[in-house]
Amino acid sequence: MSNDLSSLAWQPPTPAQPTVLGRPRRFEDVSGQEDADRDIQAFLEDALDPARQKPRCRTLLLSGVAGIGKTTIARILGNIALCWNPTEGHQACGTCAICKAFQENPPRGIDDYFEISAAEYSGVHAMSHLVALMRRAPLGRFKVGFADEAHRASRMGKDALLKDLEEPSPYAIYILATTEPDKLGAALLSRCHHVRLRPPSMTDRLHFLRRRCEVGWGLPPENYEPAALERLAVRVGANYRELAAALDRCITAGPLTTDTVDRLFPDPLAACLSSAEALLDDDLSGAISALVEAPGTPDEKRAAMQSLLLGLSLACVRGVVTPYDPLSDVPLERRQALVARFDARRPQSVSLATYLEDCARFWGASR
């Protein structure tokens, strides 16, 4: 398939559904967070219930790795809370002025919705300003305040927010997003409905890439190589933002084939293998040279070496190669020899956790 596609005069496709290429607008469209969506829906039912005078909690904390969808979920929740004509099941109507304003990135012109990035404005004045805005009477039924990267707010800024959460206004809904929830402090955490967003699994990544490719860009399966999506899912960072950017880059640069992925996102695994074998031969200069000449950024090289280390560790412990394992593309004889040599160098271990610690010590001593 690769040769057939590569021989075509490639014309970047026109998006079939541009909305799929942007931020999702419904919880159902957020990939890989079904469990979190149910938890958020429970929070919504409690916070938006008109019969409940004092909800149990009106502060939602979203935590997870960068690019996982925290800001997207916060805006969907804000849209639902402020929508003029919400449907049953806590869904925004999609047609009122509020819903149309939330279709912009970022939302603009909404009097009862406020966003602040603590990464840019971490001082007490910025957080105090947000709290002051949230204490004013709303034009509608609720006011929604969203603080992104909340853990980066200053100590005084967190104290200002905490004071308002201790005595919340009956119409205020706060949404906090963070990659490091432990840095918020126990007092803030105890006043939040904490929802942890899980990193995407390999299945989640492939589902996300296929949907973006086929529904968003309108590419039928016969117009791209499925193996290209698998390589992207393995090589690109494990978050949806980076996956989306990588896929769009491949689609606009040429036919979506493994050759295109290899050209735009070269795999440093081959160099990592050479480096590992040099280390096992006690050839430190050769190991360093192999990594220096490897393609990719230092972070990509480190990630490739970590994947290789984990693959060697699991192969030694279980004797099998798992799907999407970095060793799966290595010729069998070379893989078996490398695993055997690696296993011979490790101390005896009683558990996988201890074994991985031994591996880390081995690589650390070999640097």
pLDDT at 350 over 50: no
For residue range 200-235, list pLDDT tens digits in order.
888 889 999 999 999 999 999 888 999 999 889 888
The two tokens of residue 273 are 């293998």
pLDDT grade for 10, boundaries at 50, 70 and 90: confident
* 297-309 exposure pattern, b = at least 16 Cβ within 10 A, e = fewer: eeebbebbbebbb
Span between the terminal Cα atoms of the chain, in Å: 42
Indicate the average pLDDT of the chain.
82
pLDDT at 361 over 80: no
pLDDT at 185 over 50: yes
Q: What is the DSSP string of 40-88?
A: HHHHHHHHH-TT-SS-S--EEEEE-STTSSHHHHHHHHHHHHH-SS-BT
- Minimum mean pLDDT among 90-94, 95-99, 144-148, 190-194: which range? 90-94
Q: Which is more confident, 112 or 345?
A: 112
pLDDT grade for 157, boundaries at 50, 70 and 90: confident
For residue range 16-55, list pLDDT tens digits in order.
888 888 888 888 888 778 888 888 888 888 888 766 656 5
The two tokens of residue 70 are 């925290």
pLDDT at 249: 93
* Among 273, 251, 271, CA closest to 261: 251
pLDDT at 7 over 70: no
Section 233-238 average pLDDT: 80
pLDDT at 212: 93
Neighbours of 358 (CB within 10 A): 16
pLDDT at 341 over 70: yes
pLDDT at 317 over 70: no
pLDDT-above-70 percentage for the chain: 84
Q: What is the pTM of this model?
A: 0.77
Spatial CB neighbours of 251, under 8 Å, sequence gap ≥ 6: 12, 13, 213, 217, 219
Interior angle at CA 78, CA 162 and CA 153, nearest 5: 35
pLDDT at 6: 56
E strand segments, the chain: 59-63, 113-117, 143-148, 172-178, 193-196
Task: Write down the residue that tokens 């949404």 correspond to.
Answer: 175
pLDDT at 197: 92
Section 139-153 average pLDDT: 91
β-bridge pairing 59-63 and 172-178: parallel
Spatial CB neighbours of 31, under 8 Å, sequence gap ≥ 6: 24, 69, 200, 204, 207, 208, 211, 240
pLDDT at 174: 94
How far apart CA 271 and CA 293 sit, in angstroms, is 8
* Among 74, 97, 23, 81, CA closest to 48: 81
pLDDT at 51: 60
pLDDT at 58 over 70: yes
Helix, strand or coil for residue 121?
coil
Q: How far lies 343's CA from each of 278, 340, 355, in Å?
A: 15, 5, 10
Q: Which amino acid would we find at residue 98?
A: I
pLDDT at 54: 62
pLDDT at 81: 92
Q: Which amino acid would we find at residue 165?
A: L
φ/ψ of 36, rounded to 5, equals -65, -35
How far apart CA 68 and CA 242 sit, in angstroms, is 10
Q: Which is more confident, 147 or 8?
A: 147
The two tokens of residue 154 are 């200053």
pLDDT at 319 over 60: no
Neighbours of 126 (CB within 10 A): 19
How far apart CA 74 and CA 195 sit, in angstroms, is 12
Q: How far lies 120's CA from each of 78, 149, 159, 161, in Å?
A: 21, 9, 18, 17
Preceding peptide of 295 cis, ω within 30°: no
- Minimum mean pLDDT among 73-82, 340-349, 356-365: which range? 356-365
